[in-house]
DNA sequence: CTGTTAGCGCTTTCAT
DNA sequence: ATGAAAGCGCTAACAG
């Protein structure tokens, strides 16, 4: 591979002007075989041949500078090292690759300043669109993006008043299912919840869902939500656990998978036997749920569906098929009983 | 925040020329406080202030077009959804952010074609440097990168003859430690290994390490390496497990964490009691090791150290402090006994 | 159908 | 110490 070949080299080689080459190169035979630019069929072929032979690769920067599409989309997530978001990234990356796009990933660590920094950095790289999991207080950053007319889809957390589609999990239903399972299957009433102090809608809705269902089941007096700090999950979970046990709590539900895992660690290290001394229903996805014995029932997020819907919307907006406007789509969590076929088998099993 | 602010806007605001602004913006107080460009100290401050206030972000494309640094580094990893590489990405991203760089991440899925596609895509985006976990058969892709004089650091897998530093785990030692632990602590001789058919050095060295230590301990006749396919880990692990159990195997060691986890799933679903019917020592890092009861001793990779060394080398090469040449650095795995203080306590415990 | 040309935002040489 | 101006490669009016 030699030095870079530009559109100019091709033009010279073909004895035509650069614009003609540019036309040919950009011209996707837009549906129904119609070309946007009228170029002589022969010239077109000839230029394409030469470009091919010379190994022409359009320069991303020149394109980007002109304001053209960069074929890059940015994903702004809380934390790529969290397997949950790792899964999401991977799927988004795959869907992007299928269409020739590259995915840029940034981790906010639930911090608005980081979010702002990342979004700015991505915008200065002219990403064609964004997939964003907004963090607490991230409204202004989202406004910034949409006011610049940059295509954007929000996932995982509801932020209203932003002209962007959002794909969310039906979080209330998640907790409703978790609590109902414990109550119906085991008759447990002393069900408490461990959550984050983080005020993002996914968390808040899960808390609300928990409180609602507890009340509806007539267990309002047992309801209690414990909140721990996002950056100190393990040790704070450990701290609150003894009092939870002492109070005679019989079951726990959780706002996220990381909390579930921290709680499992805390409980086992305190010598409590899970699904006996204390029942738990896990939230989201984790290897741990399958491996732990007895396996831990949990409510998974339909990641593939979320990613497909999000990227689908984003691509539609980017190619002008859909308008950039506020909309909301809820997807349902799925109750999973690892290694079992039905809820009944779980109930009889443990 | 308004529309994009350019160098021009700042120039107008400050009542100076664009060149002056450019000088100020690019001018790092090159070692010993000397500035490359002579700009009035006051003007400099003033311009910096204005740029700051207006939220100026240099346009990557204009820079890239000129051939300047793009402040982007590309990480080419096997799979971002694997928590192990997720952790690595996160750290790399953090280290990049500290210096104003952005990290581009691509997942090869252990496929050379993907690797080639990603590397090409990153090169056409003019990344300033690469961190690469090469996949099987990826030598030519690495050559392509280094022959273009693009700074590059290889991690996790040894590829010789490429003018790039590599940071590797001492894989043989990992297996040596794992096997020795089983033999010394429990007197177990029937130790087998589950590995991948993937022929990358990390895997191969772990197999070699296992075979060597088995031989050295006089257990050569018990040594057996099972290989499963990377893309079908869980089911193939499940397939081979019954025969492993039947043969009277007393302990298992693994080439990676994903294999360890698959094996744990397989064993428990077959009703075997881990650390009783079959002992295992885990490889790499995972939440599962801490949570499983009894906790699973394992050998962690010093991820922080690996990432620091890799990014350190890369930045040195990028800023010209270090030459781009072949070198190798080995880092040591760390044996971890979750929830216990010493190896002794493990031995007495289980 | 094809060519000319004006930038996109930035760096950098050469004047002043 | 500062400014003017020439491009980097490409796209898209606008003219033929």
Span A6-31, pLDDT tens digits: 999 898 888 888 888 988 888 766 55
Treating both helix axes as pointing N-terminal to C-terminal, what angle do A201-216 and A171-186 enclose, rounded to 10 degrees? 40
> What residues of B are in contact with residue A285 (Cβ under 8 Å)?
none
- What is the residue-wise DSSP string for B215-264? HHTT-GGG--EEEE-GGGHHHHHHHHHHHHHHTT--EEEESSHHHHHHHH
B231 — pLDDT class (breaks 50, 70, 90): very high
State, as a whole number of angstroms, the distance between the CA of B261 and the C1' of C6: 61
State, as a whole number of angstroms, the distance between the CA of A47 and the C1' of D14: 23
ω before B265 within 30° of 0 (cis)?
Answer: no
pLDDT tens digits, one per residue of B185-216:
889 999 999 999 999 999 999 999 999 999 99
Distance from the Cα of A46 to chain B's closest Cα (Å) equals 25
For residue B5, what is the nearest residue in chain A, using CA coordinates? Answer: A124
Name the residue closest to D2, CA to C1'.
B20
For chain A, give percent helix, strand, coil, nearest 5: 50, 15, 35
pLDDT score of A125: 85
Asked if A329 and A166 count as a contact pair (C-beta separation under 8 A), the reply is yes
Nucleotide whose C1' lies closest to the alpha carbon of residue A4: D9
For residue B289, what is the nearest residue in chain A, using CA coordinates? Answer: A288
Mean per-residue pLDDT, B62-71: 86
- Those residues whose C-beta lies under 8 Å from the C-beta of residue B166, and which sit 6 or more positions away, are B153, B154, B155, B157, B158, B159, B326, B327, B328, B329
Question: Which among A104, A126, A261 is the nearest to B102, CB-wise?
Answer: A104
Beta carbons of B290 and A265 less than 8 Å apart: yes
Beta carbons of B62 and A62 less than 8 Å apart: no
pLDDT score of A342: 42
B64 — pLDDT class (breaks 50, 70, 90): confident
- What is the residue-wise DSSP string for A62-95? HHHHHT----EEEEEES-TTSHHHHHHHHHHHHH
pLDDT score of A28: 62
Detail the protein residues whose CB sits closer than 7 A to any atom belonging to strand D.
Answer: A 4, 6-8, 18-19, 22-23, 25-26, 56, 58-59, 62-63, 65-66, 68; B 15-20, 23, 37-40, 43, 62, 65-67
Tell me which long-range contacts A217-221 makes (C-beta under 8 A, separation of at least 24). A217/A179, A217/A180, A217/A183, A219/A183, A219/A189, A219/A191
| Global pTM value | 0.90
A227/A233 Cα distance (integer angstroms): 10
Reading the block at residue B132, the tokens are 């690469």
Detail the protein residues whose CB sits closer than 7 A to any atom belonging to strand C.
Answer: A 15-20, 23, 37-41, 43, 62, 65-67; B 4, 6-8, 18-19, 22-23, 25-26, 56, 58-59, 62-63, 65-66, 68
pLDDT, mean over chain B = 90
Beta carbons of A125 and B80 less than 8 Å apart: no
pLDDT tens digits, one per residue of A239-255:
999 999 999 999 999 99
Asked whether residue B345 carries a pLDDT value surpassing 60, the answer given is no
pLDDT score of A3: 59
Beta carbons of A291 and B261 less than 8 Å apart: yes
> What residues of B are in contact with residue A268 (Cβ under 8 Å)?
291, 293
pLDDT score of A346: 42
Asked whether residue B348 carries a pLDDT value surpassing 60, the answer given is no
Predicted confidence pLDDT, tens digits, chain A (350 residues): 445 789 998 988 888 888 889 888 887 665 555 666 677 888 888 888 888 888 888 888 898 888 888 899 999 999 999 999 999 999 999 999 999 899 999 999 999 999 999 998 898 888 999 999 999 999 999 999 998 889 999 999 999 999 999 999 999 999 999 999 999 988 999 999 999 999 999 999 999 999 999 999 999 999 999 999 999 999 999 999 999 999 999 999 999 999 999 999 999 889 899 999 999 999 999 989 988 888 899 999 999 999 999 999 999 999 888 999 999 999 999 999 986 544 444 444 43
> What residues of B are in contact with residue A81 (Cβ under 8 Å)?
83, 86-87, 89-91
Question: Which among A59, A86, A144 is the nearest to B81, CB-wise?
Answer: A86
Q: State the best of A59, A124, A266 to mutate against chain B, taking most chain B CBs within 10 Å.
A: A124
State, as a whole number of angstroms, the distance between the CA of B33 and the C1' of C16: 27
């Amino acid at each position: 591979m030699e030095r870079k070949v530009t559109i100019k080299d091709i033009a010279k080689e073909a004895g035509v002007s650069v614009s003609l080459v540019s036309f040919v190169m950009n011209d996707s035979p837009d549906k129904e075989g119609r070309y946007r630019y009228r170029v002589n069929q022969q010239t077109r072929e000839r230029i394409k041949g030469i470009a091919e032979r010379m190994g022409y690769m359009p320069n991303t920067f020149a394109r980007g500078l002109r304001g053209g599409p960069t074929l890059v989309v940015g994903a702004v997530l809380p934390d790529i090292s969290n397997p949950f978001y790792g899964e999401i990234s991977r799927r988004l990356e795959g869907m992007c690759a299928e269409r020739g796009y590259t995915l840029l990933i940034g981790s906010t660590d639930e911090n608005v300043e980081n979010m702002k920094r990342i979004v700015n950095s991505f915008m200065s790289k002219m990403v064609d669109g964004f997939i964003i999991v907004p963090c607490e207080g991230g409204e202004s950053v989202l406004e910034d993006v949409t006011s610049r007319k940059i295509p954007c889809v929000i996932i995982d957390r509801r932020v209203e008043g932003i002209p962007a589609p959002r794909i969310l999990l039906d979080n209330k239903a998640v907790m409703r299912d978790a609590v109902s399972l414990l109550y119906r299957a085991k008759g447990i009433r002393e069900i408490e919840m461990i959550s984050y102090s983080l005020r993002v809608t996914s968390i808040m809705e899960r808390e609300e869902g928990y409180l609602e269902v507890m009340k509806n089941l007539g267990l309002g007096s047992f309801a209690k939500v414990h909140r721990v700090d996002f950056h100190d999950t393990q040790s704070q979970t450990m701290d609150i656990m003894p009092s939870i046990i002492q109070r005679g709590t019989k079951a726990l539900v959780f706002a996220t998978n990381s909390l579930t895992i921290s709680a499992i660690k805390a409980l086992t290290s305190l010598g409590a036997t899970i699904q006996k001394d204390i029942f738990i229903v896990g939230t989201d996805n984790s290897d741990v749920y399958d491996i732990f014995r007895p396996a831990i029932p949990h409510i998974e997020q339909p990641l593939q569906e979320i990613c497909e819907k999000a990227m689908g919307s984003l691509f539609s907006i980017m190619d002008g098929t859909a308008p950039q406007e506020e909309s909301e789509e809820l997807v349902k969590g799925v109750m999973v009983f690892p290694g079992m076929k039905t809820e009944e088998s779980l109930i009889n099993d443990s």
